[in-house]
Structure 1
Amino acid sequence: MDLPEAQTPVTPQYDHTPLYCEENVYKLCKKLCSAGAADTEASNLFVVFISNDKKQIPLWHQKASHRADGVILWDYHVICIQKKENEKSPQVWDLDSTLPFPSPLASYVAETFRPSFPLFSEFRRFYRIVHAPMFLRCFASDRRHMKDSEGNWNAQPPPYDPIIAEDGAVHNLNEYMEIHSDDAVATIKADLVNDVRNERLGVVVSETQIEEFFSLST
């Protein structure tokens, strides 16, 4: 992720490196499983990448913001959404948010995305939903996106080794964070949940569809 300097410390039991939201969520999913907050296979967790064609997405209640309302313009952001079987309300885990951790999806959407707030088309957000078990097996990042042209870090990387996918891939972050409006599905159908579970890069939905998707998933 690009941008801000000032960051508010996160709850210490969760790994958090400023501006490395994709790795933070990767570690978060593993922690939720090991702590018993999610099932051991992470099957009730989903990783959600948020971006658009212009890589300009406004989000509210972000700790990196310098404004009272917490709004900030990210190039992309990554969160974890948990949908437990037989529980009506999905929960959003966002390590960069000032909202309760976790937050019910409906209130998170209302407070963070503010869908009633009018946006120019270049700021409209789209969401790549990836099933966490697939993400944990397939995601890889050698952090090259956080280096300048001379190989210097734009932001201090996490203290642990870079994440390598099970198939040996060392970097595929760009495949996840490249999100375009044309990629979004036309309608939310029941079999879309199976598509998410079986596709390495999940599916892309629009903002009006994200709550509908999670009303179907179990």
Structure 2
Amino acid sequence: MSNCETKDCIILSKYDCDYTPMYCEENIWKLCKKVSALDELNCCSAVFISNKNRMVPLWKQRAAAAGRDYVIWDYHVILLYSKSGLVFVYDFDTTLTFPCDAQTYWTETIRPELNLDANYHRCFRVISGSHYLQHFSSDRSHMLETNGNHKALPPPWPPIYDPGIGNNLHSFISMDSHLLENISKVYDENSFSEFINEQLRSEC
């Protein structure tokens, strides 16, 4: 595995990670699985970005149309890695570095200085890496057209699906704070920014 260490932080190469476009929730689950093998999972959180309208603008995204530097996703998933007072964001779809330091990612991707319409305000559901591995379950039905075809080619690995849990992807995407309240927490933009700052001041 190709990696380097920054102040005791393990920095993974994108090319050593599993990735399939349009399946960000599974990409991050697989990344958590990889990090768990390095005994660093306690430093990781999966972060779902969405809102009640399923319209969240993110900048510096590779999927942006020509002439536009942002994408409006229905939801997006990233990994937050915090250790030794450093915080990195792993986003497989960013045009920024992989990983990217959290402050740069926040400034360049969230663009907090912009006065966005309330319909586009971002919310963030944060769940620890260990809980994400244990509780996430998706049958990929959200990626099926009415005719049964996939909206995007599925990953080469089997669905991350536990029949005992059922398909709970939409509970992760939802920003209803009562859902998954025992294993996750929902933040608005201001409180999530404060959460990142707290991580910058803490030790893993």
TM-score category, normalised to shorter length: 0.7 to 0.9
3-state DSSP class of the match of 1:159? coil
Contact 1:49 1:76 in 2 (8 A): yes
Instruction: Provide the residue aligned with 1:179 in structure 2.
Output: 175
Instruction: Provide the residue aligned with 2:18 in structure 1.
Output: 15
Looking at structure 2, the residues matched to 141 and 159 of structure 1 have their Cα atoms a distance apart, in angstroms, of 15
Looking at structure 2, the residues matched to 74 and 147 of structure 1 have their Cα atoms a distance apart, in angstroms, of 17
C-alpha displacement of 1:11: 3.4
Are 1:31 and 2:34 counterparts?
yes
3-state DSSP class of the match of 1:83? strand
Instruction: Provide the residue aligned with 2:6 in structure 1.
Output: none
Looking at structure 1, the residues matched to 18 and 100 of structure 2 have their Cα atoms a distance apart, in angstroms, of 19
Aligned CA distance change for structure 1 residues 17 and 216 (closer, same or farther; 3 Å) = same
TM-score normalised by L of structure 2 = 0.84
C-alpha displacement of 1:151: 1.8
Q: Deviations over 1:23-73 (max 9, x none)?
A: 000011112333x3x61xx11100000000111010001011124563111
Alignment of 1:1-218 (within 5 A): 11-34=14-37, 36=38, 39=40, 42-67=41-66, 70-84=69-83, 87-165=84-162, 168-180=164-176, 183=177, 199-200=182-183, 202-217=184-199, 218=204
Count of aligned residue pairs for this structure pair: 187
C-alpha displacement of 1:139: 0.4
Q: Which runs of 5+ in 2 are unaligned?
A: 1-12
3-state DSSP class of the match of 1:209? helix
Contact 1:163 1:170 in 2 (8 A): no
TM-score normalised by L of structure 1 = 0.79
C-alpha displacement of 1:117: 1.1
3-state DSSP class of the match of 1:30? helix
C-alpha displacement of 1:12: 2.6
C-alpha displacement of 1:199: 2.2
Q: Deviations over 1:106-160 (max 9, x none)?
A: 1100000000011000000000001110010010011000001222211111111
